[in-house]
Chain A
Amino acid sequence: MGRMAFVLRRLLMLVPVAVGVTIIVFFMIHLIPGDPARTILGIHATPRAVAILHRQWGLDRPLVSQYWLFMDRLLHGNLGQSLYYGVPATGLILGRLPATLWLVCYAAVLAVLVSVPLAMIAASRKDGIRDHVVRAVPLLGLGMPPFWVGILLIYALAIHVRWFPVSGYGTGFGGHLHAMFLPALTVAIALAPVVIRALRASMLTVLGAEYITTARSKGVPRSRLFLRHVLRNAVIPAVTVLGINIGFLIGGTVVIENVFAIPGIGQLMINSIFQRDFPVVQGVTLVFGVLVVLVNLLADLSYAALDPRVRFDR
């Protein structure tokens, strides 16, 4: 059993997860009152016109057979037509996916960039003033809802000092980096407190380890001690925490994308829910499920890459 076999097994586990997601989403969305045909045709729609659309979309069939049809298409890589836009849902989602991935990765990088130095400062003098500050202040970020943090940031940094645009995605790498800073920071503020705490705790454990005494007895300077010996060991447990929380965060982007008007799949999802655009909602949810599983797989793989003691056999 090598790394490849491990990855394959984990990818196979995606199948039951995906099936579970489709079942839950499919039946839940049909529980929501509202009718896509009436959304499109407006309030003056005749019953006949509604019936024609229903027939055209297969909505007049029993739910189970609708689900069957959906799964049959899905296995052919087809998520169905968007009821609202009249284009394939797959293309719609793929077109929106990059913005969301950008936001998630950007936020994760920002969170790590903020967390590593802060955790180091906190752990280097346990129970000192700086430790207490580093432990207390980020809790504010954890306590405030992200959409509120986002609005505050927009007000302060986009409207007041005009360093960043109020909304949008930007064009090109630099454009994305600039335009997406505030939304990414918003997400990072929600993510960082958890990572800081995890990293600080594992650094304190590592600092008590005998091999740190060895490194000190070798006369390794403090900066090198922290980077090469403490941090390198402490990130291993923190990576898992980061992975799990990025999973949560993917769901959180739905709100943030709407606050900042980022054309990602989160925004697409909200709009599609309002339009009762069933195929798109199902597709986006499925993509979210797959993303969460992939991120956790990635966390496990990086865990193994960071810790030479991890073996893939079992």
Chain B
Amino acid sequence: MSREGAGTDGAGGIRGGAGTGPGGAAPGAAAPGGPVLQLRDLKVRIATRRGLVRAVDGVSLEVARGEAVGLVGESGSGKSMTLRAILGVLPPEARVTAGQILLDGADLVPLSQADLNRIRGRKISMIFQEPMSALNPVMRVGHQIAEGPRVHLGYSRSKAAERALDLMRRVGIPDPERRYRAYPHEFSGGMRQRVMIAIALSCDPEVILCDEPTTALDVTIQDQILRLLARLCRESGVSLVFVTHDLPVVAQLCQRVAVMYGGQIAEWGDVRDVLLDPRHPYTLGLVRSAPDVDEVRESLVAIPGSPPSLVSPPPGCRFHPRCAFAEEDCRAEPPPPLRELPGGRRTACLHHERCEDVLATERSPR
């Protein structure tokens, strides 16, 4: 039931980039000099006892300046791994094995950890799902916020403290002078997430990666945090990559969305297009399995089957074993590549017209 929060002030459960969305004026088109962040055929492999897990299997996407891009999918679809790969903070047994991560056109993949340290926190930063475990429990909150400017911008102790206080004010932490010296356990969940956001903002990054930052929060707090992120995005022109499994959250915040399945992108396009008019049976399933506040359905439609094994994925389209539209050609290797559709959309489905048919019959007047 965590979905109501996203639609509290709007008519529909699903809204586009207007309203609270950041950079309201056509962000994709207005980007000067191309995308800030671009992934090209990114592959991440995890060595496990059961074999090599293809956690991220050829993901390509781009994020324009000031744009918020959503990354949605089930657990284990590779969303979080994609984010961690961008920052180079993968778990020790995981590796980027192919592809490029371009920040302002420069590839991050070949960089050493020391070189990455000059980019992490400064140009790209990250917000995590669990603000309690993501904050150092024995370090004062103010010092955690001030650490970035100290390390990256060479600020003096007092200047960094001033910066931290300023950030705390910007993210809406009341009484920052007193709270500066407090420890994370003295904060509520929502306030902790505001601290995380302040940390992420501390060096004025170009991109903030958000790993389900609202999942651990209750609904009203969730909405506040989303509005805060949208506002900061609008004010400072920072881009967001927002990982979630929560479609209305994506609808509230993002302009474009990538739907991930089995480590690959199933569908990509404008939020409104993808969520209202899916061109991939998996997206269709996701949209239908999400409860809709306005339109009470007879019952929620679950996607049959379970997510694919990423050690030995099904041949061809990863989704075909669970797909009602699957035909012989869906089982053929290699997996179908993303194909361009009108309106800057992309889908991996060979039979995407079938989605249109289904939607058309569902929406015809009864």
Interface residues of A (CB under 8 A from B): 209-211, 213-222, 224, 228-229, 232-233, 236, 306-309
A sample of 21 cross-chain residue pairs with beta-carbon separation below 8 angstroms, ordered by A number, consists of A211-B133, A214-B126, A214-B136, A216-B89, A217-B89, A217-B125, A218-B121, A218-B148, A218-B199, A219-B117, A219-B118, A219-B119, A219-B120, A220-B117, A221-B114, A221-B117, A224-B151, A228-B139, A229-B139, A308-B137, A308-B138
Q: List, in ascending order, chain B residues with CB within 8 A of A233's CB.
A: 136-138
User: Which of A211, A215, A218, A228 has its CB near the most chain B CB atoms (within 10 A)?
Assistant: A218
Contacts of A224 in B (CB 8 A): 151
Neighbouring A residues of B147 by C-beta, 8 Å: 215, 218, 220, 228
Given contacts A211-B134, A229-B136, A232-B138, contact A220 B151 (CB under 8 A): yes
**Which residues from B are CB-within-8-Å of A228?**
139, 147
Q: A218-B120, A219-B151 are in contact. Are A309 and B183 (CB under 8 A)?
A: yes
- CA A232 to CA B183, docked complex, whole Å: 14
Q: Is B128 an interface residue (CB 8 A)?
A: yes
Give me 12 other A-B pairs in contact (C-beta within 8 A), A214-B126, A220-B151 excluded: A211-B136, A213-B134, A214-B128, A217-B126, A218-B151, A219-B116, A219-B119, A219-B151, A221-B151, A222-B114, A232-B136, A236-B138
**Contact between B183 and A308 (Cβ–Cβ < 8 Å)?**
yes
Q: How large is the interface on B (under 10, 10 to 19, 20 to 34, 35 or more residues)?
A: 20 to 34
Which residue of A210, A222, A232 contacts B128 across the interface (Cβ within 8 Å)? A210
B-side residues, CB < 8 A to A, are 87, 89, 113-114, 116-122, 125-126, 128, 130, 133-139, 147-148, 151-152, 183, 185, 196, 199
Smallest beta-carbon distance B333→chain A, Å: 36
Bound-complex Cα distance A148 to B89 (A): 48
B238 CB, nearest partner CB in chain A, Å: 15
Chain B residues near A221: list those with CB within 8 A.
114, 117, 151
Chain B residue nearest to A229 (CB atoms) is: B136
For B135, the chain A residues whose CB sits under 8 A away are: 211, 214
CB within 8 Å: A-B pair count: 81
Q: Is the CB of B137 within 8 A of A309?
A: yes
Q: Is the CB of B185 within 8 A of A308?
A: yes
B-chain residues with CB within 8 Å of residue A210 when the two chains form the complex: 128, 130, 133-134
B89 contact from A209, A213, A232, Cβ within 8 A: A213
- Report yes or no: B126 in contact with A219, Cβ–Cβ below 8 A: no
Q: State in angstroms the CA–CA spacing of A181 and B128 once bound together.
A: 49
Residues in B whose Cβ lies below 8 Å from that of A217: 87, 89, 120-121, 125-126
Instruction: Determine whether the beta carbon of B121 is less than 8 Å from that of A220.
Output: yes
| Bound Cα distance from A229 to B144, whole angstroms | 10
Chain A residues near B126 (CB, 8 Å)?
214, 217
Do the beta carbons of B121 and A219 come within 8 Å of each other? Answer: yes
In this complex, what residue of B is CB-closest to A233? Answer: B138
- A307 CA to B122 CA in the complex, in Å? 29
Q: How far is the CB of B99 from chain A (nearest CB, A)?
A: 20
Q: Specify which chain B residues have a CB less than 8 angstroms from the CB of A219 in the assembled complex.
A: 116-122, 148, 151-152
B306 to chain A, nearest CB (A): 27
Instruction: Report Cα–Cα, A224/B130, bound state, in Å.
Output: 23
Tell whether, in the assembled complex, residue B139 and residue A232 are in contact, meaning their CB atoms are under 8 Å apart.
yes
Q: Which residues of A contact B152 (CB under 8 A)?
A: 219
- Using CB atoms, name the residue of chain B closest to A209: B133
CB-CB under 8 A from B89, the residues of chain A are 213, 216-217
Nearest CB to that of A215 among chain B residues? B136
In the complex, which residue of chain A has the Cβ closest to the Cβ of B196?
Answer: A214
The smallest beta-carbon distance between B332 and chain A, in angstroms, is 39
Cross-chain contact B138 with A218 (CB below 8 angstroms): no
B116: nearest chain-A partner, CB-CB? A219
The reply to whether A218 and B125 form a contact with Cβ atoms under 8 Å apart is yes
- Point out the residues of chain B lying under 8 angstroms from A213, CB to CB: 89, 128, 134
Once the chains are docked, how many angstroms separate the CA of A309 from the CA of B132? 13
Min CB–CB distance A308 → chain B (angstroms)? 4
